[in-house]
Structure 1
Amino acid sequence: MQNRVLVLDKNKQPLMPCHPARARALLKAGKAAVFRRFPFTLILKDREGGATQHITTKTDPGSKTTGIAVVAEFARRGPTVIWAAELAHRGQVIHQALEKRRTLRHSRRSRKTRYRAPRYDHRTRAKGWLAPSITHRVRTVITWFQRLLRWVPITDVSMERVRFDMQALENPEISGIEYQQGTLFGYEVRAYLLEKWGRKCAYCDTADAPLEVDHIQPRSKGGSNRVRNLAIACHACNQAKGHAPLSVFLQTDNDRMKRRQIAAAQVAGNDPKKRAERERHEQNRLERVREQAKTPLNDAAAVNTTRHILFERLQALGLPVETGTGGRTKFNRVQQGYPKAHWIDAACVGASGGKVRLDSALRPLQITATGYGNRRMCNVDRFGFRRGKPKSRQKVYFGFQTGDMVRAVVTEGKRTGVHQGRVACRKTGSFKMVTPSGKVDGIHYRFCKPIHRQDGYNYAA
C-alpha cells in the first residue's frame, strides 16, 4: 500500500490527499501537474478550494528516528492513516563532526599558543541552550510540520510529549487509580525497561523471545519494585533464577553456562580468538548487569526535555496540540494488534490513538536528514592540514547545485543512456552523478533535467 498523494489547488492551498489511482487519472487527463516529487504532490490547474475533513498530524519523536503519521477523520471508517513518514536524524553525525573539530582546534592551539592562560569566564551559554545535536532533532521535526501545513489541511497536532513517566518510574507504588488499577498499569515501567536493556534478556542476550520483568534482588530477599532493581529476562531465565540472588544465579547455574559455551562454540567455530572473547563476555556478565542496573534516569530525562521544547514549538504553530506518554502509545498499539514501527507508534499517540485504522503494509516515506554541506573554506586531511585549493563561494553552476536530483538523457559519448540520481556540480559543466547502480562521471549539464532540488534530505519510498 502506498501513501496518499498530497494535492494543492491552483492557488497552492492544500486540499484533501487523494488515492494514487486518482492522481494518475488527473495527470493523464491534464487536469493536474507535479508540484513536488518528494513527498509526491500535485497541483490542480483549474480547481480553487474544496471540502476538507478533520486531519491530525501525529508524531512520535525519537533519538534517531521520528515517526510521522497523518490521520484523517472519515465519517464511515473513522480515524484512518492516509500518509506516513519516518524521519532519520543526523544528531550522531553532528556530534562526531563537532568532536573532530574540537580535537583539531585543541591540537592546533596546543602547538601555537602552548602557554596561553585558560579562558573560561566568557564561554557562558545562553539560557535554554541545547547541544547542537539535540537542537537539530527539534528543528527537523518542526521543519516537516511546517512543510505539511503548506501541503495538507491540518486541523490539529498530536505528539508523544514524554517517552517515560518519570514519577511512575521513580515510585511504581505511586497512588492513583490510573497507575494502580487502570489500563496503563505497568506500561510506563515496561516501556522504559525495554529501552534500558536493549530489548533483550539481561542474562542470556535472547532477543527473539517474549521478555518478562524480573527483580534483580528478589523481593523475598528485601528487593523493591523500583526501576533500578528491575531487569528484562526471558521466561527460561526468569524461572531458573527464581528467588536466588543475582550473584548466586550467574555463578552456580552450570547447565546454563554449558549451553552458553555450546552456543559460543557454534558461533565462533574453530576460531580461538572469538571463543576467548565470548568466554570473557560471559565472565563479565555479573559486573555488566550490575552496572546496567545502576544506570540513572538521565537519558530519559534528556529525551523528555527535548520533547518539552518540541511541544512549545508546536504550540507556536497556532494549532491545538494533543499530548500523550510512551506507555499510552504502546498500550494503544498492543491493544489494536499493530506491529512495532515508528510511524505506527506516531499513529497510536495519545487518547486519539486508541482507535485508529491503518494498513501495516503501508510503505512510509523514508526521510534522511543530510544537511546542506559544511562551512569549511577548504578541505583538510586527517591531520587537519589543508588539502587542495580553497573552496569557491559559488554554489550554483548552470542552474544546478550539488545535491539536486536530476534525470540525464545522454545522447552521445561514452555515457550514452538514461541516468537518474543526485548530482555533484563543477564549474566546467561536467557533472558527477550518484545513481542507484553506482557513480557516473562526466555528465554534461545540457543533458540534465532537474527532478527535485536539494533541500537537505534524502528520500526513499
Structure 2
Amino acid sequence: MLDKHGHPLQPTTPARARKLLKKERAVVHRHTPFVIRLRDRTVAESEVDGVELGIDPGSKHTGIALFTVSAGERRARFALQVDHRGQSIRKRMEQRATYRRERRSRNLRYRTPRFRNRTRPEGWLAPSLRHRIDTVVSWTSRLARWAPVRAAHVERVAFDTHAMSAGRPLEAAEYQNGTLHGYEVREYLLAKWGRACAYCGKQGVPLNIDHIQPRSRGGSDRVSNLAIACISCNQSKGNQPIEDFLKGKAKLLARIKAQAKAPLKDAAAVQSTRQALQEALDAVLPTHTASGGRTKWNRSCGLPKTHTLDALAVGKVDSITETVTTVLMAGCTGRGVHQRTSPDKHGFPRRTAPRIKRVYGFATGDLVTATVPTGKYAGTHTGRVMVRTTGKFDIRTRHGLAAAIKHTYVRLTQRGDGYAYTTRPEGSTPK
C-alpha cells in the first residue's frame, strides 16, 4: 500500500483494501502483485512499523517472504516464488557457441585466431548465474518500493561446510540422535539424495544417515561415504559391505556409487553466487545472512518444505505465528528476442517476425482482460496476450487458450514486465 505521494505504507489485508477501493479512498496502483495507492493520506499521517524480507535463494526457484516482527514473532504478509530461467539461458548460450564453432570449421573465410581478448573481469559470473542475482535484486528493489522494508535476511549457504568438518570427526552418535543433531550434514544429504531412501527409494518416511562402506570395515566419515536410508534398509544393511547388500542389483549399486561422489549441481550454482548476491543485496538493504541448517531448525515447528516457507524461516527466529494462504508464482519469461527469423532443421528461414512489436497498443506478454460478447469464447478472459498484426490476439489464461480475440474487445490491465504470474496455495509443492 502506498500513500498519495507514492511512498510505501504498512501492508494491509485484502478485506481492508476492498473497502478502501469501494469507498474510492484508494486506486489500483498495480495489478500483480496487487498494490493500491491511497488518495487522502501521507506517510506523516500514518503509523509505519516497517516489514522485513526473507530470501531463500535457489538454482531453479527462489522464495521471498515479506513479514512483520513483533516481540520475536514473525507474521507473513506476502509470499513470492520466482522461477528462474538459468537453464534456458545456458542452453541458448551453448547453442550460440555451437553455431559459431560450426561457422569457423566450414572454412567459409579466413580469420586469424584471437586469444588475447578472452580475459574476464574479476568477479565475472556466467550469464545463467548472473541472471539469478539480477532477478533476486530486482524483486528486492521492487518490494522495497511497495512496502516499508527495513532489512533483508538471506540464506547464504545451503550447508555449512565448517560445521560439517570443524576440526573434529563426525561420530556415529551424531547420526542416530534424530533431527535435532547434525542439521548441516543432514541438509546436504537430503538434498543430494532427493529426500528419498538411497536403496529402496521410499519418500515421506523417517530417514537415517547410513555409511555406504561401514566404519567397521574401513569406511570413513566423509560426506561422500554417507547416504540417506529408511529404517528398514538401514537395519537390513547393518555392517555389510554395500556390494554384499546389493548383490544381484548391479545397476542400483553403480548408481549409488556414482551419486555418492557426484557433486550437487544446483547447490554449486547457489554456492557460486552467494557472495555476489549478498554484496548486491547490501547495496539495496541492510542484509543479514544465515545457513540452511538454521532455516531447517526454524522450520521444525511443523511447517512443510517450500521455498517461500524457507524464506519465512531464514535467520534468527523465535517463533512463526502466521503464514499466508496463497503464494504468487512469478516465472521468468523474458521480454522477447531480437531474432526476426527462425530456421528449420536444415538452416533455412521458416518464418519472419515483424519489426514492430506493439500492435494496436498491445505487446506480447501484456496482462489484458477481454470481454467477448458472442461466439465460441464468449465471456471474460484475463491473462497474457500474444499479439498478431491481423488484430486477432491469443490470450493465455489459467483455464486455457482463448484464440483469435478481436483487439477491440481487449483492455490493457498491466504492461508486460518479463514475468508470467500464477498462484498456488501455500504449503503445496508446485508441479
TM, length-normalised to structure 1: 0.84
| DSSP 3-state at the match of 2:9 | strand
Q: 1:283 to 1:74 in 2, by over 3 A?
A: same
Distance 1:195 1:131 in 2: 24
Q: 1:373 to 1:284 in 2, by over 3 A?
A: same
Distance 1:20 1:223 in 2: 57
Q: 1:288 to 1:414 in 2, by over 3 A?
A: closer
- Are positions 1:332 and 2:326 aligned together? no
Q: Give the equivalent residue in structure 2 for 1:217.
A: 213
Amino acid at match of 2:338: R
| DSSP 3-state at the match of 2:210 | strand
* Matched-pair contact (CA < 8 Å) for 2:192–2:264: no
Q: Deviations over 1:295-317 (max 9, x none)?
A: 24776454222111110000011
* Matched-pair contact (CA < 8 Å) for 2:73–2:318: no
| DSSP 3-state at the match of 1:14 | coil
| DSSP 3-state at the match of 2:247 | helix
Answer 1 or 2: which has greater helix percent.
1
Aligned residues: 416
Distance 1:132 1:311 in 2: 18
- Are positions 1:399 and 2:394 aligned together? no
Cα drift, residue 412 of structure 1: 6.0
* Matched-pair contact (CA < 8 Å) for 1:172–1:226: no
* Matched-pair contact (CA < 8 Å) for 2:129–2:269: no
Q: Give the equivalent residue in structure 1 for 2:273.
A: 306
* Matched-pair contact (CA < 8 Å) for 1:212–1:232: yes
Distance 2:261 2:166 in 1: 16
Q: Deviations over 1:194-218 (max 9, x none)?
A: 1111111111122232111001111
- Are positions 1:341 and 2:336 aligned together? no
Amino acid at match of 2:286: P
| DSSP 3-state at the match of 2:320 | coil
- Are positions 1:381 and 2:344 aligned together? yes
CA RMSD of aligned residues (A): 2.5
Q: 1:414 to 1:342 in 2, by over 3 A?
A: closer
Q: 1:358 aligns with which of 306, 322, 325?
A: 322
Q: Give the equivalent residue in structure 1 for 2:125.
A: 130
Distance 1:156 1:232 in 2: 37
Cα drift, residue 34 of structure 1: 1.2
Cα drift, residue 414 of structure 1: 6.5
Q: Give the equivalent residue in structure 1 for 2:202.
A: 206
Cα drift, residue 84 of structure 1: 0.9
Amino acid at match of 1:209: V
Q: Give the equivalent residue in structure 2 for 1:418.
A: 380
Q: Give the equivalent residue in structure 2 for 1:440.
A: 402
Q: 1:285 aligns with which of 232, 252, 266?
A: 252
Amino-acid identity (%): 47
Q: 1:59 aligns with which of 55, 62, 72?
A: 55
Cα drift, residue 96 of structure 1: 1.7
The more displaced of 362-371 and 407-416 is 407-416
Amino acid at match of 2:312: A
Amino acid at match of 1:313: A
Distance 2:210 2:92 in 1: 40
Amino acid at match of 1:368: G
TM, length-normalised to structure 2: 0.89
